[in-house]
Amino acid sequence: MKEFLKAFTYAANGIVAAICSTRNLRFHITVAVYVLLAAPIVLESFFEWAVVFLTIGFVIAAEIFNSSIEELCDFITKEKKQQIGLIKDMAAGAVLVSALASVAVGVFLFFLNGRIAKLYDFCLENIWYPVILLVLIIPMILFIKGKRYD
């Protein structure tokens, strides 16, 4: 059981390392935070919540895979090699595919069937909500900007 729990520690260390070293991952996390802040107002079923969580997890996992592949490639060689570049491009392409799919999910769940109007009406009735979203922009930008910890 101790070894099993150790595996979670290693995984958590990997997630933290990816967050600390990957600006794009911090961007995806920031977008996820904003999506999760809007979700209670817009989403109407547990199924929609499940889709949102799976989509967020898919994009974040893709970014972590991409980052690990890039780190491995850089560990193997710092030289500009065509195959290493192709490997990195393919991994980045996988992130792009997952991000585009997540945008499609977001459009279906947040913008169709008048749901954006629901969010807009909520913001008009609860002025504190858009104020909180605006106040969060500065720490989120600082989080995204961050710095690489090696």
Q: How far is CA 133 from CA 17, 35, 36, 79, in A?
A: 27, 11, 12, 43
State the DSSP H helix or E strand holding residue 6, giving kind and residue range, or none if neither. Answer: helix 2-21
pLDDT tens figures, 106-131? 999 998 888 889 989 998 999 999 99
What residue type is assigned to position 128 of the chain? Answer: W
Q: What is the pLDDT of residue 150?
A: 45
Whether pTM > 0.85 for this model: the answer is: yes
List the domains of the chain with CATH numbers: 2-145 (1.10.287.3610)
Q: Residue 69 — left, alpha, or beta (φ > 0 → left; ψ -120 to 50 → alpha)?
A: alpha
Active-site residue numbers?
63
Q: What is the pLDDT of residue 78?
A: 85
Distance of alpha carbon 42 from alpha carbon 119, whole angstroms: 6
